[in-house]
Structure formats: C-alpha cells, structure tokens
Amino acid sequence: MNNQEKSNINNDQENKILITNSNKFANLETNNIALKNKRIVYFDWLRILSSFSVVFLHVSSQNKMFLPIKSHEWKILVYYEGIVRFGVPIFLMISGTIFLEKNIPFSIILKKYIKKIYINRIFWSFFYSLREKIVNKYSYKKTFFLFLIGPYHLWYLYRICALYLITPFLKEITKNEHLLIIFLILNFIFGFFSIIYLLFYIIIQKTIIILLIKY
C-alpha cells in the first residue's frame, strides 16, 4: 500500500469521525431544544388550581361585603378567603420561572408582551367604563376618570407588566450569587418592615376609631 492510499484511508477515517461528532452535537442540540420546548405538566396543574382559587377568592370577598362584620357567615368567608390567596402568587412565580429561563431582549418584552397587555387593558377599561355609564348613569367626567385609572380588578395587569419590565435585571441578579443573596436579604428586610408598618397602621386606626366612638 503506497503513501497515497494510506493518506486517503486516513482522510476517510477523519471524515467519518467528524461526521459522527457532528451528528452527536446535532442530536444534543435537538435534545436541548426539545427540553426547552417541553411542556411542564405540573405548571398546568398549578394554573388550574390557582384559577379555582382566584374564583373562590372573588366569590368569598364579594359576598363578605354584604354580611355583618364578625357574624358566623362573615367569619367563614374570611377563613375561605385566607386559604385561597395562594393563586395570584403562584401565577406570578410561574411567569417568573418561564421568563427567567428565556433570553428575551428588552425590546421584545416591550413590543410583544407589554403591548399586548396594554391593548387588553385599554379595551376592558373602555368596556367597563361604558357599562358604568349606561347602567349606573356615571357622568362623562367620572366615566373618563374610570377609563384612565382602569377598574380595580385589572390591577394584575399592572403588576405583571412591572414584573416583565424588571425581568432582565432579575435575570442578571440570578447569575451572580452575591447579588442574589443581597437581593433576597433586602426583600426580606423590606417585607418584614412592611408587615410591621401594616400592623402599626391597623392598631393606630382601631385606636382612633375606639376613641371617636367613646368620646
């Protein structure tokens, strides 16, 4: 076997190795894409459970408004309202998990997600404002004001928009362990003081009411 034949054999072997490696990388990339696009089933179950909890929350809170405070029925609805408040936080955590796993440019977040949410917000604000105008005889000024601020139950749209906007910054924080620890500590501190402030506000408010009733 001459040198030319040996060289051809070596080239064929190298080409086979390259093709094999290329196929392995292609399969690996295909598997990665499949994993990324794979539906997370337990997210669907959590969405279903959270949807029921949100409906239950609204039903209990709306009916509670028409009951005497501290009555037996009022206490039952307050209890139910308390145990189903996990729905909205779960929706937010699912959205955060999905967004943090993706590399979405800030411009796409604005054009695709924020734009879509605000189109829905404008449509439903107009719908509810028009309904209040027709059904409850709102003045034009009050109707326009309701359209600007939006109905109270659309608050979730503002919250999810804010979270979408800060997602790129949160993604950078999660990449750095020290920044993540600082971020979690600050969240704990501000959350703790928010609870203290709320309790202090409730105590002061009740004290003022008692004093007004007494004197």
Mean predicted confidence (pLDDT) in 99-108: 82
Task: For residue 77, give both structure tokens.
Answer: 């609805």
Query: Which residue from 152, 163, 85 is spatially nearest to 117, judged by alpha carbons?
Result: 163
Query: Which residue from 59, 47, 117, 120 is spatially nearest to 89, judged by alpha carbons?
Result: 47
32 and 46 share a domain? Answer: no
- pLDDT above 90 (res 49): yes
Number of separate domains in the chain: 4
143 and 166 share a domain? Answer: yes
The more confidently predicted of residues 31 and 58 is: 58
Task: For residue 76, give both structure tokens.
Answer: 């039952």
Q: What is the pLDDT of residues 150-201, one digit of tens each?
A: 887 788 888 888 888 888 888 888 888 888 888 888 888 877 777 776 677 6
Q: Which of 26-40, 111-125, 140-154 ranks highest by mean pLDDT?
A: 111-125
Query: Which residue from 86, 87, 62 is spatially nearest to 74, judged by alpha carbons?
Result: 62
pTM: 0.62
Kindly indicate the confidence band of residue 34, based on its pLDDT and cuts at 50, 70 and 90. very low
Looking at this protein, which amino acid is placed at residue 174? T
What's the mean pLDDT when you consider all of the chain? 77
Task: For residue 199, give both structure tokens.
Answer: 């309790």
Mean predicted confidence (pLDDT) in 42-57: 91
215 and 165 share a domain? Answer: no
Of 78, 96, 114, the position where a domain reaches its end is 96
108 and 160 share a domain? Answer: yes
Which residue range forms the structural domain that includes residue 74? 39-96
76 and 60 share a domain? Answer: yes
Contact present, 51 and 87 (Cβ < 8 Å) = yes
Q: What is the pLDDT of residues 134-153, one digit of tens each?
A: 998 888 888 888 888 888 77
Contact present, 195 and 130 (Cβ < 8 Å) = no
In whole angstroms, what is the distance from residue 181 CA to residue 1 CA? Answer: 67
Of 49, 73, 96, the position where a domain reaches its end is 96
In whole angstroms, what is the distance from residue 14 CA to residue 120 CA? Answer: 58
In whole angstroms, what is the distance from residue 87 CA to residue 94 CA? Answer: 11
